[in-house]
Structure 1
Amino acid sequence: MRERAARALGDQGNPAYVPALGAIVQDRDEKVRMTVVRALIRLGSPASLPPLALAVRDGIPEIRYLALDGIINFYLPGYVETGFGGSFRSVTSRVETLFSDVDTLVVDPDVRVDDGVTRILRQAITGAPDMNTRARAARALGILRVKAAVPDLLEAAFSNQVDLIAEVLRAFQKIHDPSVGPRITFLLSYPQKNIQQAAATTLGLLRTESAIPDLRQTVENNDDIDVRVAALDALAFMPQNQTAPVFLKYLADREKRMRAAAALGLGRLKDAQYLGQLEQTRQRERDGGVRLALAFALTAQGRLEYLDEIVSSLSSRVRRGEARPYLIELARERPVREALYPQLYSRDPEIRQNLCLVLAASGDTVSISQLDNLLRDRDAAVAQEASRAIRILRSRGM
């Protein structure tokens, strides 16, 4: 009876029923509790957060998992999808590549997470009764970009649980606190290769320059190609004159991912002496991903004629995951932003929509006036992304 009533309240879609559901989130019957959590997720009200936080401490693992997903879903609608018959599943598989295997599922930078939710998630990382719940809590903190949880995540990084460490590293990639880097460099020597790879990626994204010697050693000596690629990617995020010979060495490597990472590193050096070699390499390169990396490198060196190729790649499902972060990085420079504005009127809605995402991350006050023209775009998805971009830019005081 209580289970049926809870389901009916959730199906009503009326947030006014949240207090009634919250009152039985700790019901003695686990089926009732599970139904209540599902109903709270459906209602999606701010008032749902306290009872969902209580459910994170439930004695049944599946209820804890769903409650964690429900909290994420409140801040990132669509994270949990409902299927026929009221079934639920989280959509954590929606990831794009960012030069390496970086999960980019995160809330917008202007999202503020409830203090009570933050407290429960932090406690779950080190206090939950099973490692799966701890790993899911770490995942949630990363997706929600909770910087206050860095000390708890660091403690978890020293555990001996591979899945937990992997989620902690992904969380660090999203929270982006540079102070973390020196304290996780030791994970480059972790026994499991997937942790070595994730550690290298994280150190690169955090620009941990103190790890450069360790990363160079990993590139040269590790016997796993995926780890070596991640280490070279990491070096490419923080290139120095002393690492230029490393990039030159791998610019002609047999492994295409090594060639791409080498091109990125030389491009970010912004040293004109490498322009000729980058152009010559591009002329003979046949792989599309490496050519795109070379286009990025040449654009970063001031050759804006290569920008159109990167923009065009936004319409490609295969290349979009590389092209968009390239443009986000390049658009931090005013000449690149100015060159992108005319592309906001591209005939391709995929290009217009993705450029809104680029400018949300790297735009300025001028970008707001340019994006304003897309608020009335004939494509609803484009207009929605333009509105989101303007909101994010204004939240930064622009």
Structure 2
Amino acid sequence: MTAAPAGPVVDRAVLVVAVVALVAVLLVLAVALLSGRWWQRRAAAGRAQRVAPGRPLLVALAAGDDDDGTLLDRLATLPRAQWRALEPVAVAMLGKVRGDARTALVALLERRGVVQRALRDARHRRSTTRARAAHLLGLVGGPGATPRLAALLGDRDPEVRAVTARSLGRLGDPSAATPLVRALVRARPLPHQVVVPALARIGPASRTALLAAADHHDPTVRARVIEALGLVGAVDTAPRLVRALGEDPAVDVRLRAARALGRLGAPSAVGPLLAATGPDEPTALRVTAAQALGVLGARRAIPVLAGLVADPHHWVAHTAAAALVAVGPDGAAALRGLADDGPGAGADRPASAHAREALAAAPGAAAA
């Protein structure tokens, strides 16, 4: 009796059809790939051909060689197809020039209707179009740009909101400070790394807007505002940060105030930061205050920091040792005094181990 086959029987004709179909699919994909590349090259060549007549005129305009306005008139009357290819070049140039060259390029974009189109596109249903419009408005500015961008800070798309914040910072309009602060403290805030650089470029008006929000009832909002004050370099707000460090009921707010004071480098912060390292304070605050004292390079903090190197909390002691290195040669000398208790001191005296570790991490300080 013949044994049954071990597996399913594949009809040879079906197998041949499958192989032929696979080869056909691969051929179609290869043709599509080659056709796509050919089309891209052709489109790039077409754009280059359309850009070629206007590019020298655009370069000359940006170079300030248009005393009589002839270049601007010629560029403003280029055929539509040529201008559509040249427009991205003009926009890219706009971000690289200043003074009269920028003024001339903005005038060209206004005459071609690019600015008005951007104001309209800021309300477009497609998020990519709104983002491009926000970017362009940040480059050209002008009447209506700041209010339209301020409205886009509430856009449903996070990328549009981020582009808008950067554009408002680029414009540097003081009236944008308050909308940017609102974007920082709302329920779904924009990230600090997006908003803070924009506020820093705006200048004093941003500090005013931040201070107005520093007494918000929500501690999360206060914490964001306090941190932003340190990041924008608002040295004149140090008294407000000192008050937050000493009086705010929220530990997170106090912690961020300590960090901000360290960034600002205000000498008046040394006393309050020393107080924040006290044994009755939360451990996280003590660590942050010690780190800030090191950033400040506060020599009068050396005795307190040296005492903290023996603190029973590991991270307080570790941070205090690193802060002494940051203070400078006098701080390193204090660490060497703690470390010079003999090779076996580390087991019995944690301060010696922390001091040795900090000095080893800073060979220059150890050799001083």
**Normalization by structure 1: what TM-score?**
0.49
Cross-structure match for 2:186: 132
In the alignment, which of 162, 170, 188 is matched to residue 69 of structure 1? 162
Using the TM superposition, give the Cα deviation of residue 162 of structure 1 relative to its aligned residue in structure 2, in angstroms.
3.0
Cross-structure match for 2:214: 157
Distance 1:138 1:54 in 2: 22
Cross-structure match for 2:48: none
5+ long unaligned stretches in structure 2 = 1-83, 92-108
1:259-278 matches, within 5 Å, as 259-267=317-325, 268-271=327-330, 273-274=333-334, 276-277=336-337
In the alignment, which of 125, 132, 138 is matched to residue 39 of structure 1? 132
Distance 1:208 1:264 in 2: 20
How many residues get paired? 250
In the alignment, which of 298, 303, 323 is matched to residue 245 of structure 1? 303
1:226-245 matches, within 5 Å, as 226-240=284-298, 242-245=300-303
Cross-structure match for 2:265: 207
Cross-structure match for 2:277: 219
Which protein has the larger Cα radius of gyration, Structure 1 or Structure 2? 2
Measured against aligned partners, the alpha-carbon deviations of 1:270-292 in whole angstroms (never above 9, x if no partner) come to: 22742523654997589x99877
1:175-324 matches, within 5 Å, as 175-188=232-245, 189-240=247-298, 242-267=300-325, 268-271=327-330, 273-274=333-334, 276-277=336-337, 279-280=339-340, 284=346, 293-295=358-360, 299-300=364-365, 303=368
Measured against aligned partners, the alpha-carbon deviations of 1:9-28 in whole angstroms (never above 9, x if no partner) come to: 9xx9774795364131454x
What SS does the aligned partner of 2:120 have?
A: coil
Distance 2:143 2:192 in 1: 19
Would the alpha carbon gap of residues 45 and 240 (structure 1) be closer, same or farther in structure 2, given more than 3 Å must change? closer
Cross-structure match for 1:143: 197
What SS does the aligned partner of 1:212 have?
A: helix
Percent identity, please: 18
Distance 2:341 2:231 in 1: 33
Using the TM superposition, give the Cα deviation of residue 242 of structure 1 relative to its aligned residue in structure 2, in angstroms.
4.2
Using the TM superposition, give the Cα deviation of residue 248 of structure 1 relative to its aligned residue in structure 2, in angstroms.
1.5
- Asked if structure 2 preserves the Cα contact closer than 8 Å seen for 1:200 and 1:234, the reply is yes
Higher relative contact order (CA 8 A, sep 6+): 1
Using the TM superposition, give the Cα deviation of residue 186 of structure 1 relative to its aligned residue in structure 2, in angstroms.
1.2
- Asked if structure 1 preserves the Cα contact closer than 8 Å seen for 2:329 and 2:365, the reply is yes
5+ long unaligned stretches in structure 1 = 1-8, 76-112, 304-398
Equivalent position amino acid for 2:115 in 1:
P
Using the TM superposition, give the Cα deviation of residue 201 of structure 1 relative to its aligned residue in structure 2, in angstroms.
0.7
- Asked if structure 2 preserves the Cα contact closer than 8 Å seen for 1:166 and 1:195, the reply is yes
Equivalent position amino acid for 1:274 in 2:
A
What SS does the aligned partner of 1:57 have?
A: helix
Using the TM superposition, give the Cα deviation of residue 197 of structure 1 relative to its aligned residue in structure 2, in angstroms.
0.8
- Asked if structure 1 preserves the Cα contact closer than 8 Å seen for 2:135 and 2:164, the reply is no
